[in-house]
Amino acid sequence: MKVILREDVPELGLAGQTVEVKAGYGRNYLFPRNLAIPASKANLRAIDEIRKQKDLADRKRLREAEVIKERIEKLEVSTEVLVGEDEKLFGSVTASDVAALLEKENVIVDKRAVQLENPIKVLGVYTVPIKIDKEVTANLKLWVIKKS
């Protein structure tokens, strides 16, 4: 069965593409969720409109992501932590801690967007990458300082 995708479907294709799927998958999953429409002659003519709407939505999402990126890159946030011997932290600074610090600055990001390779366990200044969109990544300057 040939269908036209209305939205991006992982492992299947992008919005506006015509793909071949099994009849049950199309009937029971794609059509009820409004992810695809049957590939009839009339629908094939409407495919351009679907692509235009997708392009407009992508450009809008990208502009919003750029605005958030600029806000994040202007910020310098700091967190005070308890420190033991040799300037090592009790515990660590994790992605959810960084997301909470950004939330205090009125920038809402998901903790999964904070791309720390490992939790921070030493005092210092760090550049933390934050993935806002597929193509947009901001760099946040994070100061980890000793609690007085």
Tens-of-pLDDT digits for all 148 residues of the chain? 999 998 889 999 988 888 999 999 999 999 999 999 998 888 887 777 777 888 898 899 999 999 999 999 999 999 999 988 777 888 899 999 999 999 999 999 999 999 999 999 889 999 999 999 888 999 999 999 988 7
Helix/strand/coil for 17:
coil
How far apart, in whole angstroms, are the C-alpha atoms of residue 3 and residue 36? 6
Domain presence at residue 54? no
Instruction: Give the phi and the psi of residue 100 in degrees, each rounded to 5.
Output: -65, -40
Residue 84: per-residue pLDDT: 83
Q: Are 142 and 77 in contact (CB under 8 A)?
A: yes
For residues 76 and 26, state if they share a domain: no
Domain assignment of residue 102, given as a range: 67-146
Domain presence at residue 53? no
Domain presence at residue 114? yes
How far apart, in whole angstroms, are the C-alpha atoms of residue 77 and residue 144? 9
25-57 residue pLDDT tens: 999 999 999 999 998 888 887 777 777 888 898
Domain presence at residue 62? no
For residues 90 and 20, state if they share a domain: no
Q: Are 4 and 50 in contact (CB under 8 A)?
A: yes
For residues 19 and 90, state if they share a domain: no
For residues 78 and 30, state if they share a domain: no
Domain presence at residue 56? no
Total residue count of the chain as it appears in this document: 148
Looking at residue 14, which CATH number applies to its domain? 3.40.5.10
Looking at residue 109, which CATH number applies to its domain? 3.10.430.100
The amino acid that residue 21 corresponds to is: V
Domain total of the chain: 2
For residues 40 and 100, state if they share a domain: no
For residues 139 and 109, state if they share a domain: yes
